[in-house]
């Protein structure tokens, strides 16, 4: 046998003990690293290996829309019940003075209200709790699970000899002047992330859950029963009370039955509410609407501004009190709420007109949104303006049933605007 083949036959072996031993020539280096990372501080190094919890489920029973209670089965998406318009285009849950939805949701033990839902992405944080009671719903079987370590893209791995993802770097803050948060986030990411764990706790949509008992067992066999966080500052996923006070009693997890995905079809109306600081007005611009015969009008195309004023030949101009504007721009004039008060009293906006021939039978506006918004709270229109749309929507319930409805959506605008209104000027034609 040649010399090379003899060496191969001698060195080949099925015993992997030598390779898996991972021997090092400097054990003191490992001791130094353990000292450097604080592993000699005599802390309890046990890791959770099992968790058991008991819970109660309290399903939602009804939703209150416009004073009418609608029963819930848990299959229908709440958006379809709350946002749906009636055949006369009215929306019972829509508050025209605030341009948002308001409705109630209740179970057998608790009652919630939503007063500032803008018509998009309904979730638990839109609700405030109006009635507090202990959940005495259905007791669920004890669930036992293995916790998983919390992780994210760029998080450090718990093992030293594993290459980490270098695409994310949280230790280089982009702030010109680093603040407290920019310093706390890297510390949490690199130091404390391996001490946080997650347990999957599935629950039925359209219900409340109260964890009645939570037990953790670590790798040393120590069993610890955990109680709910009593710190008032740690209320991240808790529903607030309607009066702003802290809620007593056991905390609950709220999971309303919302649509997974909502498909929007044709836009029926698009109205922009903008501020005009020069004229001290708020304008509602009907950017898109449909006429009574179904014609689609966009950006006031084809709508005349107004008949020009006739002048005698040879005249240099005509003095005018105010200029003509497109009828698609409807003014909202500030009016005092309490005329008996003094300076600083509150005001609200009252819908006006720029077309003198407009009346209740023949209004200047053409959209449903402006027609039902006779009064508007002044604080609802910021400097960036508002955009409100009516769209046809579609979603499926958890049972697969299709739902079609027409809903509204409130969005941020693009700044202030004006239709070009001028006062006391000379019209030279």
Q: How many CB atoms lie within 10 A of CB 388?
A: 24
Residue with tokens 């109680």: 227
Which residues does 105 contact at the CB level (< 8 Å), separation at least 6? 60, 62, 63, 64, 78, 111, 112, 113, 114, 127, 256
Round the CA-based radius of gyration of the chain to a whole number and report it. Answer: 33
Longest Cα pair distance anywhere in the chain, in angstroms?
123
Kindly give the confidence (pLDDT) of every residue in the chain, 429 residues in length, as a single tens digit, with 9 standing for 90 and above: 444 444 444 456 667 777 667 677 788 887 887 787 667 776 666 788 899 999 888 899 999 999 899 999 889 999 999 999 999 999 999 999 999 999 999 988 888 999 899 998 899 999 988 865 555 557 778 889 889 888 777 777 766 666 666 666 665 556 666 677 777 777 777 777 878 888 888 888 899 888 889 999 988 888 999 888 777 677 777 787 776 555 556 678 889 999 989 999 889 999 999 998 888 889 999 999 988 888 898 887 766 655 444 444 545 667 777 777 888 899 999 988 766 655 556 788 999 998 888 888 899 999 999 999 999 998 899 988 999 999 999 999 988 999 999 999 999 888 777 887 777 777 766
In this predicted model, what pLDDT tens digit does every residue of 381-413 receive, in sequence order? 998 899 999 999 999 998 899 999 999 999 988
d(CA 263, CA 256): 19
Q: Give the pLDDT confidence score for residue 1 in this predicted structure.
A: 45
Q: Give the pLDDT confidence score for residue 78 in this predicted structure.
A: 94
Q: Give the pLDDT confidence score for residue 69 in this predicted structure.
A: 92
The count of C-alpha atoms lying within 13 angstroms of the C-alpha of 406, restricted to the half-sphere facing its C-beta, is 16
Q: Give the pLDDT confidence score for residue 161 in this predicted structure.
A: 64
H/E/C letters for each residue in 354-385? Answer: CCCCCCCCCCCCCCHHHHHCCEEEHHHCCCCC
Q: What is the DSSP pairing of strand 94-95 with strand 148-149?
A: unpaired
pTM, whole model, 2 decimals? 0.75
Q: Give the pLDDT confidence score for residue 44 in this predicted structure.
A: 62
In this predicted model, what pLDDT tens digit does every residue of 296-333 receive, in sequence order? 988 877 666 554 444 445 456 677 777 778 888 999 99
Which residues does 399 contact at the CB level (< 8 Å), separation at least 6? 75
């Amino acid at each position: 046998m040649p010399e090379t083949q003899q060496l191969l036959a001698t060195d080949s072996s099925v015993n992997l003990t030598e390779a898996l031993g991972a021997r090092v020539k400097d054990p003191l280096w490992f001791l130094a690293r353990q000292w450097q990372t604080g592993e000699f501080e005599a802390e309890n190094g046990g890791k959770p290996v099992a968790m058991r919890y008991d819970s109660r489920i309290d399903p939602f029973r009804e939703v209150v829309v416009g004073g009418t209670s609608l029963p819930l089965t848990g299959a229908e998406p709440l958006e379809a019940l709350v946002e749906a318009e009636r055949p006369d285009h009215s929306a019972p849950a829509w508050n025209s003075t605030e341009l948002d939805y308001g409705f109630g949701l209740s179970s057998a033990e608790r009652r919630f209200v939503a007063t500032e839902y803008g018509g998009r992405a309904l979730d638990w944080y839109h609700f405030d709790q109006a009635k507090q009671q202990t959940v005495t719903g259905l007791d669920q079987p004890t669930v036992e699970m293995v916790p998983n370590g919390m992780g994210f893209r760029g998080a450090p791995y718990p093992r030293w000899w594993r290459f980490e993802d270098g695409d994310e770097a949280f230790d280089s803050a982009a702030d010109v002047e680093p603040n407290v948060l920019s310093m706390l986030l890297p510390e949490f990411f690199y130091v404390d992330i391996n001490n946080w764990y997650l347990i999957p706790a599935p629950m039925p949509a359209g219900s409340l859950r109260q964890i009645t008992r939570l037990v953790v067992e670590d790798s040393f066999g120590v069993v610890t029963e955990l109680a709910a966080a009593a710190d008032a500052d740690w209320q991240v996923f808790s529903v607030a009370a309607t009066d702003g006070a802290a809620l007593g009693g056991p905390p609950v997890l709220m999971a309303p039955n919302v649509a997974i995905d909502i498909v929007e079809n044709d836009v029926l109306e698009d109205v922009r509410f903008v501020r005009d600081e020069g004229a001290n007005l708020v304008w509602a611009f009907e950017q898109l609407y449909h006429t009574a015969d179904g014609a689609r009008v966009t950006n006031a195309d084809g709508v005349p501004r107004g008949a020009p004023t006739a002048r005698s030949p040879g005249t240099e101009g005509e003095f005018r009190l105010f200029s003509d504007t497109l009828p698609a721009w409807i003014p909202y004039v500030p009016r005092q709420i309490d005329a008996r008060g003094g300076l600083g009293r509150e005001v609200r906006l009252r819908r006006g007109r720029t077309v003198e021939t407009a009346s209740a039978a023949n209004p200047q506006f053409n959209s449903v949104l402006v027609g039902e918004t006779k009064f508007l709270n002044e604080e609802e229109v910021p400097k960036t303006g508002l955009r409100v749309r009516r769209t046809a929507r579609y979603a499926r319930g958890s049972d697969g049933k299709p739902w079609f409805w027409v809903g509204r959506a409130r969005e941020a605008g693009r700044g202030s605007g004006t239709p070009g209104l001028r006062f006391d000027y000379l019209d030279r034609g």
